Structure 1
Amino acid sequence: MAIWGLWVINKAGGLVYQRNFGGDGLPRLTANEYLTLAGTLHGIHAITSRLSPTGPSSGAQVISGETFKLTILLTATGTKFVLITSLVEPTADSVLQKVYEAYADTVMKNPFHIPEMPIQSEGFDTRIAALLGS
C-alpha cells in the first residue's frame, strides 16, 4: 500500500486528526500549514457539492494531482476522512471505511471525547497504526 497520510476534518473545517505514514512520503509541514490545508479542502469540498449539473451531490470524492491522490469520505455528520495516497492505490475507499469504523468504535464511544475537538485517543491511534502502519 502506498498510503502517505490521513486527515480527519470536522464539520466546521477544522483539522482534528492528522498522521503521516511511510517515512519520507510527505513533506513535513507546520501545524498551521496543516490547518490551512484542511480548511481549504473543506471549502473546495463545499463548492464541489454545489457544482453538480445533474442534481444533488456530496462533493468531491477524489482529487488527483500529478503524483498523489486525495480520497475523501464524507460522513452523515459532516466529518470528512481524507486519505493521501499514490495515484494507483486501489484500496483507498475500503481503507477509509475501516478508518471510519475505528473512529466510531474508539472515538465516538469515548464518553470523555468532545465532538468537533481534536482526537486524542490512544485506542484510535493504535487501530490506525494497525490498519495503515506506523
Structure 2
Amino acid sequence: MPIFGLWVINKAGGLVYQRNFADGLAQLTSNEYLVLAGTLHGIHAITSRLSPIGSSSGAQVIEGETFKLTILLTATGTKFVLLASVTETSAELILQKVYEIYADFVMKNPFHTPEMPVRSEGFDQRITTLMGSFQS
C-alpha cells in the first residue's frame, strides 16, 4: 500500500510543502506543483458549495484508477493532501498524524512565518519516519 506523496496547501491555495515518497512518479517542476495545488484548492472550494443538503467542507477523497488523493482540511484552512494507492486504508490516520507533526514542528517554531513554505529539518525527519512506518 504505497504512499506516493504529501502536499500542504495554505488557506490561499499556495503550496507550502511537497514531498514524494515513491519512485516512478512523474517528475514535475516547482511551477507545475504550484499550479496543481492551486487547482486542487479551487476544486475543493467548488465542491464545498455543491452540497445539496446543508453546508459541506468540500471534497475529502478524489479517486482515480491507480491512486487517490485524501484531503484533510484544518480549522485554519490549511489542507493536507496525501497521494496514495487506492488500496491505502489508513490515509485519514496518516493525515491526522501529519497534522500533529506540523503543529509541533512548524507552527510552534517561532522562526516560521505562517502561510510561507515549510523549512524545518525536524518536520522532514518526523514525516520520513511516519511514512516509513506505513510503507509496507
With the length of structure 1 as denominator, give the TM-score of the two structures.
0.97
Render the CA deviation track for 1:46-75: whole Å, top value 9, x for unaligned: 000000001110000000111110000000
Paired residues for 1:1-134 under 5 Å: 1-24=1-24, 26-133=25-132
- 1:22 offset after TM fit, Å? 1.8
- Secondary structure in 2 matching 1:54: coil
Q: Note the residue ranges of structure 2 that are not aligned, 5 or more in a row.
A: none
Segments of structure 1 that go 5 or more residues without pairing to the other structure are none
| One-letter amino acid matched to 2:16 | V
Runs of 4 or more off by more than 3 Å in structure 1? none
Identity across matched positions, percent: 77
Q: Deviations over 1:74-106 (max 9, x none)?
A: 000000000000011000000000000000000
Secondary structure of the structure 2 residue equivalent to 1:120: coil
Q: Which amino acid aligns with 2:71?
A: I
Which amino acid letter does the alignment assign opposite residue 104 of structure 2?
D
CA displacement at 1:112 relative to structure 2: 0.3
Instruction: Return the TM-score normalized by structure 2.
Output: 0.96
After superposition, the CA RMSD in angstroms is 1.0
Partner Cα separation in structure 2 for residue 75 and residue 83 of structure 1: 14
Q: 1:2: Cα distance to partner? A: 1.1
Query: How many correspondences in the alignment?
Result: 133
3-state SS of 1:87 partner = coil
